[in-house]
Amino acid sequence: MNPDIPTPVTDEPTTEPSRPSRPVAPSLAAAATHEAPARAIEREAHAIELRSLNAWYGAMHSIKDLSLTFPANKATALIGPSGSGKSTVVRCINRMHEEIPGARAEGEVMLDAIDVYDPKVDVVAVRRAIGMVFQKPNPFPTMSIYDNVASGLRLTARKVHHDQVESALHGAGLWEEVKDRLREPGIGLSGGQQQRLCIARALAVEPAVILMDEPASALDPISTLKIEQLVEELKYRVTIVIVTHNMQQAARVADQTAFMLDGELVEVGPTEKIFTNPGDSRTEEYVTGKFG
Ligand SMILES: Nc1ncnc2c1ncn2[C@@H]1O[C@H](COP(=O)(O)OP(=O)(O)OP(=O)(O)O)[C@@H](O)[C@H]1O
């Protein structure tokens, strides 16, 4: 564990455990670089393609031969009943699954032309290129608002520019609310603001993809709306994968929706089709509330 990085206020693992130790494949290196100007928000988003992904917890086979593409610059919702494997899939995408004792994954997770499971790819670079936001906001408890956002940048940059922090806070729709209190603790913000601070922290390192695992389920309706509006804005700069139990939320924010059941992909398609004219009767039963 890097001593510069305090433990986040959550039992979720931090996505930034240590400094990169070896070179990364070129596009991941590009995605992870801190040298780009602060407003390099035009950075390309990348599609993620899962090819025959399988995941286990010990002997339990929890993700079964899942192939699925998350198109660049789109928001894809992962829906399905509790235990269907949604969170496991997102943790496989940025290689956090393997941090769980006894857990392993097989298959390919392609980011652009690079398999993030390629042994030559640095796992820290993967997690910079593929940011993650959890259900419970997890700002670093001892850090100011400013330092929370700067923390990822400091892993590799000698100097963090104020512009980079400001740009990320703008990107997360938080700048106006915090610009006069940047040195105050991040945990002093409201829950919704903390979640946007976590989004700013993820954005600061200019990821290609952001994974959101039920990012609004702990928030009030107004904060939820702000997160949903943010998803709409962010997808012009990053690819978004959002796990949600809220069907209305999926319908509001997602261009594409994938329905999972028992670790398998039942169906994926344009969100409107999944909600109005799904191809599989199990999808219809789920989206109409007959189970789950
Ligand atoms: N850390 C873990 N150790 C062992 N089994 C796990 C672990 N995390 C998840 N599982 C199991 O893997 C399967 C998929 O769980 P996962 O959390 O991915 O589903 P989910 O669809 O995200 O559920 P929820 O909507 O309740 O969050 C479940 O059977 C679950 O019990």
Q: What is the pLDDT of residue 112?
A: 86
Q: Do 204 and 149 form a contact (C-beta atoms < 8 A)?
A: yes
Q: What is the pLDDT of residue 214?
A: 97
Model-level ipTM above the cut of 0.85: yes
82 within ligand 1 shell (Cβ under 6 A): yes
Given a cut of 50, is residue 104 above it in pLDDT?
Answer: yes
What's the pLDDT tens digit per position in 35-78? 333 223 235 678 999 999 999 999 999 999 999 999 999 999 99
Distance CA 27, CA 124 (A): 14
13 within ligand 1 shell (Cβ under 6 A): no
Closest CA to ligand 1's atom 30: 83
Q: Do 286 and 79 form a contact (C-beta atoms < 8 A)?
A: yes
Would you list the domain boundaries of the chain? 44-287
Signed CA dihedral, 277, 278, 280, 284: sign only: negative
Ligand 1 centre to CA of 23 (Å) is 33
Q: Read off φ and ψ for residue 214, nearest 5 degrees.
A: 50, 60
**What does the mean pLDDT of the chain come to?**
87
Closest CA to ligand 1's atom 28: 83
Q: How confident is the model at residue 34 (pLDDT cuts 50, 70, 90)?
A: very low
Mean pLDDT of 129-134: 95
Residue among 50, 77, 63 at smallest CA distance from 258 = 77
What's the pLDDT tens digit per position in 261-279? 999 999 999 999 999 999 9
Distance CA 81, CA 226 (A): 25
Which two three-digit tokens encode residue 228? Answer: 């949903």
Residue among 233, 241, 159, 225 at smallest CA distance from 200 = 233
Q: Which fold has domain 44-287?
A: Rossmann fold (3.40.50)
